[in-house]
Chains A and B, each alone.
Chain A
Amino acid sequence: MISPAEERLLEPYFAGREASEITKRRAERISAETGICLRKVEWFAIKKGFAPRRYLRNLGTFSYAGQLKLLESTVVLVGLGGLGGQLVEQLGRVGVGEIIAAEPDVFDETNLNRQLLSNEANLGKEKTYEAKERLEKINKAVEFTGFCCRLNELPDEVWEKADLVFDCLDNIDDRLVLAQKCSALNCPLVHGAIAGWYGEVGVVWPGSEMLEKHYQGQHEGLEKELGTPPFTAAVAANLMGAKGCQILMGKHQSEQSTIHFFDLLEDDWENIQL
């Protein structure tokens, strides 16, 4: 995560001090004085037993070791709509070190009911631009790169960096292309989809062909008929975030590909292993 030279620069800020909390202001000052990015400063502080105050309410849940793994991680978000926009917020607050997103669209009025990054003032603006703005407001330590492009236009070096990929797409054909890509890269994929009150979230391990089995040659879903309300998008996205962080921290229960279905109208939750 950091070079020996960077370690030598950072060490004096922590050596001989009793491990304690570290404020955002102090981390930013260390970053400015050393020229080392905030992500690495936070990482080094935690390594030395100092708790960045911004992650204080994470640490009880994740432990210092878990928070370090999150800061070390690179995730790729494919799609910044109802699911991807919520995930930007969650992953940014949680402190995932690097987020790379692909989304070709700009915001329009039909996004306002559910897409967290959309608002009345940014209609017509690129979703990737707004994601970057949002992350700079909530956590400057997170490195973000947005590509205003489709899935198949993302450069190879993005895929090579990915520890985990989130499928926040809106059509089956692209979802299957993404699943094959992740399988070839041996990279786990967190899938999410919604239709009305109903949604599904799946963890797809490489080689499982879970999405191929799931969609079985189908090309159309139900969301145009049933709509995409905000709470279904939020439930699915937050479940995706929880599953994703578990995988990044090595806390996920098993490598069996599982799909979680929920129906918020019927209060029904089902988990199926595929």
Chain B
Amino acid sequence: MMVVNVKLMSMFAKYLKNYPDGRVDVEDGTTVCGLAEMLGLPLKLVRIITVNGKQEYLDKVLFDGDLLYIFPPAIGGG
């Protein structure tokens, strides 16, 4: 097992309500997609993903201590 630090922006924040400190235990070799599914995130709304400040994609394999951000889209301008 390992611990990933997760930040979910905007409407995604509610999917972390069981992890108030954002620290999520996952199996070794878990991908961003695996973690997002575990949290119940709607994958079709996942837009930008960063791991340790670098843009990544759903198939990225996570490591112990990684900092993961997942951003939903915003469209409004009006």
Contacts and interface: CB of A to CB of B under 8 A. Distances in A.
A272 B10 CA distance: 16
Interface in A185-207: 192-200
Contacts of A259: 48
Interface string B43-78: 011011010010100000000000001011111111
Contacts of B73: 172, 193, 195, 214-215, 218, 221-222
Contact of B75 (A82, A221, A263, A273): A221
Interface stretch (A30-38, A57-65, A223-231): A223-231
A222 B74 contact: yes
Contact of A222 (B7, B53, B75, B77): B75
A255 B22 CA distance: 33
B32 to A, nearest CB: 15
Nearest to B78: A81
Contacts of A261: 9, 48, 71
Interface residues of B, number: 21
A172 B75 contact: yes
B52 to A, nearest CB: 12
Interface string A261-274: 10101101010111
B19 to A, nearest CB: 14
Nearest to B45: A222
Report, as a range, how many residues of chain A touch the other chain. Answer: 35 or more
B10 to A, nearest CB: 3
Nearest to B13: A266
A181 B36 CA distance: 35
A72 B55 CA distance: 37
B74 A194 contact: yes
A60 B9 CA distance: 36
14 contacts: A79-B77, A168-B77, A172-B75, A194-B74, A195-B72, A198-B10, A198-B74, A221-B76, A222-B74, A226-B10, A261-B9, A268-B9, A270-B69, A272-B48
Given A111-B78, A198-B10, 5 more contacts: A83-B77, A214-B47, A222-B72, A223-B75, A225-B11
A-B pairs with the 7 shortest C-beta distances?
A221-B75, A223-B76, A81-B78, A198-B10, A195-B74, A170-B78, A193-B74
